[in-house]
Amino acid sequence: MIRYRNKEMLVLPGVYTPAEDSFLMVEAVLKEVRPSDRVLEIGAGSGIVSAFIKDRASVIATDISPCAVKCAKLNGIDVIRANLFDGVKGKFDLVVFDPPYLPSEERVGDWLDVAWDGGKDGQAVINRFLHQVKDHLTENGRFLLLTSSLSGVEAIMKKMTSLGFIAEEVLSERYFFERLVVLRGRMVNKSRR
């Protein structure tokens, strides 16, 4: 069990134990979510972020890991097993993702590795997410994406801009070896251009 704010979450073996990145995303979500939002969380892990969203708005989640899906379900989250958006129908006002973002040369071994392994530059899963998210957002939809100085915050913001998003830092926290940042992406409003 792990406790954060008013919530106790079960964490099964093989599931990412909520840490500083999870807690920073919870704080960002508490500021961002509106009651009318239809929310999708990608990569729910134990379900800690969705658990806080669920108190404020409707939320469904995905995770590629069967261990995470089982765990998030036990924690009361409506979650399906999926690779990013695969099989997810409909559009969402808010999409939230705390992705695997650590650069790694090693081959992924188990489901716990899948939780942190972001490929050579830390951006492999992030880039796939960025290319797909637009198709799952409502007209004024936005997304929150956790990144780290270890995976190159500026490069990720540039990528967001090149894909037609307005990219903003909404929350950040400095730690001994990295700076964690929550980015918000929203589409450039065509009528204001």
Q: What is the 3-state secondary structure (H, E, C) of 92-158?
A: EEEEEECCCCECCCCCCCCHHHHHHECCCCCCHHHHHHHHHHHHHEEEEEEEEEEEECCCCHHHHHH
Report the residue number, 146 or 157, with the smaller CB distance to ligand SAM.
146
- Map residues 103-122 to x or -, x wherever contact with ligand SAM holds by CB under 6 A: -----------xxx------
- Map residues 132-171 to x or -, x wherever contact with ligand SAM holds by CB under 6 A: ----------------------------------------
The 3-state DSSP class for residue 189 equals coil
Q: Where are the beta strands (DSSP E) in 5-91?
A: 7-9, 38-42, 58-63, 79-81
- Map residues 81-100 to x or -, x wherever contact with ligand SAM holds by CB under 6 A: --xx-------------xxx
Q: Which two tokens stand for residue 15?
A: 């599931």
Report the residue number, 12 or 188, with the smaller CB distance to ligand SAM.
12
| Interacting residue ranges for ligand SAM, rule: CB under 6 A | 16, 18, 21-22, 25, 42-46, 48-49, 62-65, 68, 83-84, 98-100, 114-116, 125
